Structure 1
Amino acid sequence: MAPFIVFGYGSLIFKPPPHTIRQVPGFLKGYVRRFAQKSHDHRGTPESPGRVVTLIHKEDWDKFSGSDAFPDEDIVWGIAYTIDPIYEAEVRDYLDYREKDGYTMETLDIYGMDDGVEKVIIHGAICYVGRDDNPSFVGSEPLDALADRIWTSVGPSGRNKDYLYNLAAAIHNLSPSSYDSHLYALEAKVRALDDKNGTSTQA
């Protein structure tokens, strides 16, 4: 039986799934990572949803986000987690519940570098994606408005800005080439709001 491998590109990077027996950093091709998904249940509330990341095919993003100024050269780095087979059913249930707010399970190939050459290092990893036809998908929002939403939102899992800060720190640490200009520009704007209002920037 094939191992159960799940690719984390958002909160799974800084809050890994349980019963992980192996972690491998890698990246995706043909996708962008954007704060384009509402969070009603973790980093916001039904009345005031926060914003969390999802993956979008680059060609799909281009269709409804012509004003998005960030380069296609950004790389979506993340971590592929291999789950202990004994606990596969338990972890699947855990992830299905954790990602219930509009996310759909897809299978993706994970890339890595081998002597400077890109190659597939894992075939068919599981990944939870908030597709653009799910009710929680909000698409592209002006960066200032998005930053303000993240700065003010709080949910059962904590402050929305802590999710952003934890993710940015994790991506910074993943790889020297793990640059994500959308994520880092958003982090800078939210930290500027902290500075302006004299609030804590600690995650």
Structure 2
Amino acid sequence: MENFWVFGYGSLMWNPGFATLSAEPALLRGAHRSLCVYSWVHRGTQERPGLVFGLDRGGACRGMAFEVSGENRDATIEYLRAREQVTMVYQEHWRRVKLASGRTVDALTYMVDRKHLQYAGALPLEDQLHIVSGAHGRSGPNPDYVLSTANHLLELKIRDHNLEWLTTQLREAGVDKS
């Protein structure tokens, strides 16, 4: 079986959870990273939703592409579906990404479904801050997820001005426990 690629733009970048052969910074065109998904499971509840990242249409997104052995294809996709498709807010797509090495590959990517009830759209930053600050789900506090993603983006030298503003506000509010 042929090796394949998975594109990560949020927690998959810093916590893929599956075996990889290699990882490279990558660029996906035609979608951007956005805190546009109400989290009812991992970082919030239906009563007190959190916010998690989704790939929303338009723009471009820098993230990480992970090469996976073809032998692990079925197990990896099953794992990703269990992790990413708990409430079916994402749609699986194969999208072209450009690797830092210059190669272009097709990568399994999870794009937000704009018709899903959990699609939050482009919320004002102050609303994002309010939602993220108090939310907690099965995978932990919402601020931890946002700060971990921001820290990983900084390590990769990826700038996201909205996320930088949000992390500054979270840290000033004292929610950064790192």
TM-score (norm 2): 0.91
SS in 2 for 1:29: strand
Where in structure 2 are the equivalents of 1:1-203 lying within 5 Å? 1-58=1-58, 76-100=61-85, 101=87, 102-112=89-99, 121-175=103-157, 178-194=158-174, 200-203=175-178
Compute the displacement of 1:31 (Å): 2.1
* Deviations 1:182-203 (CA, angstroms, capped at 9, x unpaired): 2112212222222xxxxx4125
The answer to whether the Cα contact below 8 Å between 1:144 and 1:189 also exists between their aligned partners in 2 is: no
Alpha-carbon distance in structure 2 between the residues aligned to 1:16 and 1:140: 26
SS in 2 for 1:171: helix
Compute the displacement of 1:157 (Å): 0.2
Alpha-carbon distance in structure 2 between the residues aligned to 1:174 and 1:12: 14
Superposed CA RMSD: 1.7
Aligned length: 176
Instruction: Name the larger-Rg structure.
Output: 1
More strand by share: 2
The answer to whether the Cα contact below 8 Å between 2:99 and 2:105 also exists between their aligned partners in 1 is: no
Aligned to 1:61: none
Compute the displacement of 1:113 (Å): 5.1
Alpha-carbon distance in structure 1 between the residues aligned to 2:22 and 2:132: 32
Structure 2: give runs of 5+ residues left out of the alignment: none
SS in 1 for 2:147: helix
The answer to whether the Cα contact below 8 Å between 2:2 and 2:70 also exists between their aligned partners in 1 is: no
TM-score (norm 1): 0.80
The answer to whether the Cα contact below 8 Å between 1:104 and 1:131 also exists between their aligned partners in 2 is: yes
* Deviations 1:15-42 (CA, angstroms, capped at 9, x unpaired): 0131111111112223221100011110
Alpha-carbon distance in structure 2 between the residues aligned to 1:46 and 1:113: 39
- Report % sequence identity: 28
Any runs of at least 4 consecutive aligned residues in structure 1 with deviations exceeding 6 A, and if so which? none
Compute the displacement of 1:129 (Å): 1.1
Alpha-carbon distance in structure 2 between the residues aligned to 1:30 and 1:93: 26
Structure 1: give runs of 5+ residues left out of the alignment: 59-71, 195-199
